[in-house]
Every structure is written in C-alpha cells, then in structure tokens.
Amino acid sequence: MKRTTILWSLAIVTAMSLLGVAATFAQAGQASLVVMNYVGKEMAFTLDGTQGSVPASDAVQPGQMTFTVAPGKHEFSGAIPGGPGANALVELAAGQTYVLGARLEKSKPVLAADGAVLEKPRDVLIFFEASQNPSAAPDAPMRVALQTLPAGQGALVFDNYIGEELVVSLGGAQYRVPADGRQQVNLAPGEYTYSVSAGISGTNGAASVVPGQYTGLGFSRETPPEPTFDIGEPEPTPVILRILVSSMDLSGEAVVQSPAAPAQPAAPASPQPAGAEATLTVTNYASQSLTFTINNTTHQMAENGGQASITLAPGEYTYTASTPRASANNSLALRAGETKRLSVATNLEGSQINLYLE
C-alpha cells in the first residue's frame, strides 16, 4: 500500500512538471500588442470584441496598455469619448511585440469646384506603428560662434528663429541664413537698411553698425491664427504672417578667430539729401481688391485699375501683394529720385498673382 502511494505521488509530480513545461511553451508562443495613446484624452480600445481603456497622455509620456494575444490576425478599434474613432487589423507572429500608436490629426476641408467649403476640417484618429523607445529629439542646432572683427569695423548678426530659410538683402548683397542658423556680416560703421523674407512673409528695417561691436537681430514669425471654415463660403485665404524682429544681446558670447575674411559688401553711399526719395506706383489689374504691403505699411487698391503711389527712401525692399484668393511676394531696389511702376494681375481663375515691374 505504501509502495502504491509513492508511485501515485511520483506520477502527480511528473504530470505537474509536464504542465509547467507546456505553460512555458504556450507563453513563449504568444504575441504582445502595446497600445500607446498620444491623445490628451482617455481612449476606449476594443481588441477582438473585448473592451478596455487606454489612459490619456500626460506632459511626459503617452498612456500605455499591453495585451497578450495568440499569433494571428486581430481586429481592433479605438474611440475618443465625444470625438473620432477608427478601426483596423493587425497580424502578429509568435513572440512578436507590436507597438501601436494613436494620435489626432486634422482632415483637410472638402471643397467644391468653385472653392466653396463643403465640409469643415475635423479631428481624425490615426493609428500608426510606434516605438516604446523613441529616438531622442535631435539637439537644437548650435549657432556659429561670433568671428573677430576687422579693425575699424562692426557687424550685423542675423539670428534666424524661423523654421525655414531667411533671405537677407543688405547693401546690394544677398545672404541666405538657414533655419535656426546665424549670419555675421562685417561692415564699416554707419546706418544700414535691410530687407528680409521667409516664404511669403517679409519685412525691412534699419540698424546701426558701431565699430568693434556686434549688433544682434533676431527674426521670428508670429503664430498663425486658426482658420475659420464656413460651409458654402470660399476657403479662407492663407494669412501672411508677419516677421518679428528683436534686438539680441550678444555681449556674453564667445568670439573665435576669423578665417580669411571674404569680400564684404561696399559701405553704403553717403546719406541722400532731403527730397531725394523714390516713387513706386502700384496698379491693380486684377478683378479682386488688392492688399499691398511694403516698408511695414499696407495699401488697399480697388479691383480693375485701383492704384497707389508710394514714396520711399532709396534702398532694398521686400513687398507682398495679396487678393482674397492668392498672394505673392518679391523684392525691388529703388534709387534716389527714381520712379518705378509695378503692375499686379491674376490668372483667369484668380488663384495666382502675376507681378510686372517696369
């Protein structure tokens, strides 16, 4: 009897061991679905008919939930309470871990052939393949160090905080400052006018160059307003964002030895006598009203022949011409006493502005 009891005990231990091995193989043969919620709200998530909830993201990291599933195809859907939803299918292999991200995007408006709004932009829930260990954000680009100044000269230092290239016209020369980059221009002492543009935005101004000093100018762009789409109305015309200029304190920055200095633009001509202004005459031949901006001043012109005569000091200028359906910008140079004519027209659809300088 005692021998029989021992045999049964051994059989039970062996069976339990085999079950443990089977469970290990079953776990190893499964797959994992990790859901990362980048939406600032809790997301209802359904996987193969089973409902759950993925927490909202916070200021540090996204909300997260992990599901262990068998290999194969799995249907899932997500919905933001009071907001959009989406569904899709994922196929997982044994031992695979798949990271599924969720974020909100804005859809494009639906427009009629004549440009009228049929459907406003709306929030759309997007699923995408993500990573639990996203690569670190790239470091902000280092601005080049200030260079030593030639004897008797100063410098204008253009710091570009706009997310695209900045084009600077100064003293008859043109400089291209990369996004988040810097351009130092060494100049003889004096007062200089400049014009800058980035995309369709532009502005101009003046700065003083002092011998032995760095005059820092920082350029940024105003935040775009949220466009308003009204059903049945034309699509809103893109707003031309102003370029903002701020004075930069460069006194604490390190200065490195200049390489062989490239040729610099000539010093500005001596100041013009009073009354030596230039004139720009702008004529609007478009069938829509025109808004014309130059030298930080806006001029309104009626359609089909509206005109404005603008008096300006000699120098380089960037200007912008816009109608309710299109916009364009360019630059021009004016000499003392000169008169120039600028004609503005559009194509037949009114969607493109054409500029003609005489």
- The better pLDDT of the pair 257, 241 is held by 241
In tens, the pLDDT along 71-111 reads 999 999 999 998 899 999 999 999 999 999 999 888 888 88
Does residue 134 lie within any of the structural domains? no
The tally of domains found in the chain comes to 3
Q: 245 in a domain, yes or no?
A: yes
Residue span of the structural domain in which 47 resides: 28-129
Euclidean distance between CA atoms 14 and 109, whole angstroms: 67
| Among candidate residues 124, 134, 115, the one with its CA nearest the CA of residue 86 | 124
Instruction: State whether 257 and 286 are in the same domain.
Output: no
Does residue 238 lie in a domain region? yes
User: What backbone phi and psi angles, to 5 degrees, belong to 155?
Assistant: -150, 145
Question: What was the pLDDT predicted at 157?
Answer: 95
Residue 173, pLDDT score = 87
Strands 154-160 and 214-221: parallel
pLDDT digits (tens, 9 = 90+) for 281-335: 988 888 888 888 888 787 888 888 888 889 888 888 878 787 777 777 778 888 8
In this structure, the answer to whether residues 310 and 258 fall within a common structural domain is no
Query: Are 120 and 194 contained in the same domain?
Result: no
Residue 324 in any domain: the answer is yes
The CATH number of whichever domain residue 292 belongs to comes to 2.60.40.2890
Residue-wise over 68-86: b if at least 16 C-beta within 10 A, else e?
A: ebeeeebebbbebeeebee
Residues 230 and 207 in one domain: yes
pLDDT score of 192: 94
Q: Would you give the DSSP letter of residue 266? A: P
223 and 288 share one domain: no
Classified as helix, coil or strand, 72 is strand
- Residue 300 near residue 290, CB atoms below 8 Å: yes
Statement to judge: residues 178 and 263 lie in one domain: yes
Q: What percent of the chain has pLDDT over 90?
A: 33
- Together in a domain, 54 and 119: yes
Pairing of strands 214-221, 243-248: antiparallel
More confident: 188 or 328: 188
Would you state the pLDDT for residue 142?
58
Domain boundary among 129, 156, 189: 129
pLDDT in tens, 14-31: 433 433 333 333 356 899
Which residue, 323, 261, 264, 333, is CA-closest to 292? Answer: 323
- Asked whether residue 139 is assigned to any structural domain, the reply reads no
Looking at residue 31, what is its pLDDT?
Answer: 92
Name which residue leads in pLDDT, 236 or 315.
315
Together in a domain, 223 and 244: yes
Q: Which pLDDT belongs to residue 18?
A: 36
Give per-residue pLDDT as tens, 221-235: 887 767 777 788 887
Q: Are residues 245 and 310 in the same domain?
A: no
Same domain, residue pair 116 and 211 = no
- Does residue 216 lie within any of the structural domains? yes
Kindly tell me if the per-residue pLDDT of 220 is higher than 50. Answer: yes
Domain boundary among 249, 268, 287: 268
- Among the candidates 95, 129, 163, a domain finishes at 129
Do 303 and 195 lie in one domain? The reply is no
Does 33 reside within a domain?
A: yes
pTM value surpassing 0.85 = no
DSSP code of residue 307: E
The whole-number average pLDDT for the span 240-254 is 88
- 7 within domain boundaries: no
Judgement on whether residues 284 and 357 belong to the same structural domain of the protein: yes
For residues 162 and 259, the model is more confident at 162
